[in-house]
């Protein structure tokens, strides 16, 4: 399955979660429900994946975590904020570079329509 095929399924699942829950909950609630929905779609999902920082020759555990990793190809960064900021895009782009993955999605569930809170971030795709 390609990154684009996976992202289509992720977006559909996020819309379903948002349709049922709406905005206003904590990020952790959306994470739990989105993982459940992605599993229903038969996708391999990992949550809170440790992300070490490679500095020179050292692999350093710096406390970074990927919210959701789907099919070991697509990173999902979840938010429940008023507005997405440039730093959110920079964060997921850094995660993509550190993992050498190509596609990430930022999903802000604190939007009237979740599609308005969605950003697709690519790393050499």
Give tens-digit pLDDT for 97-114. Answer: 999 999 999 999 999 999
CB 71 within 8 A of CB 54: no
What pLDDT was estimated at residue 125? Answer: 63
Tell me which residue has tokens 């490679």.
54
Instruction: Answer whether residue 81 shows pLDDT above 80.
Output: yes
Q: Is the pLDDT of residue 86 over 90?
A: yes
CATH code of the domain occupying 3-122: 3.40.1350
Spell out the domain ranges in the chain: 3-122
Contact 91, 121 (CB under 8 A): no
What distance in Å separates the CA atoms of residue 100 and residue 27, rounded to the nearest whole number?
25
pLDDT band, residue 55 (cuts 50/70/90): confident
Burial class of residue 42, CB neighbours in 10 A (0-12, 13-18, 19+): exposed
**What's this model's pTM, rounded to 2 decimal places?**
0.93
CA-only gyration radius of the chain, Å = 14
Per-residue pLDDT for 54 more than 90?
no
């Amino acid at each position: 399955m390609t990154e684009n095929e996976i992202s289509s399924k992720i977006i559909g699942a996020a819309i379903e979660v948002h349709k049922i829950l709406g905005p206003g909950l904590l990020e952790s609630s959306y994470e739990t429900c989105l993982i459940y929905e992605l599993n229903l779609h038969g996708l391999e999902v990992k949550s809170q994946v440790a992300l070490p920082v490679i500095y020179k020759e050292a692999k350093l555990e710096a406390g970074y975590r990927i919210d959701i990793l789907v099919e070991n190809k697509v990173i999902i960064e979840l938010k429940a904020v008023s507005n997405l900021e440039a730093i959110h895009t920079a964060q997921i782009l850094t995660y993509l570079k550190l993992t050498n993955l190509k596609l990430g999605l930022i999903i802000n569930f604190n939007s009237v329509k979740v599609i308005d809170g969605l950003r697709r971030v690519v790393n050499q795709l």
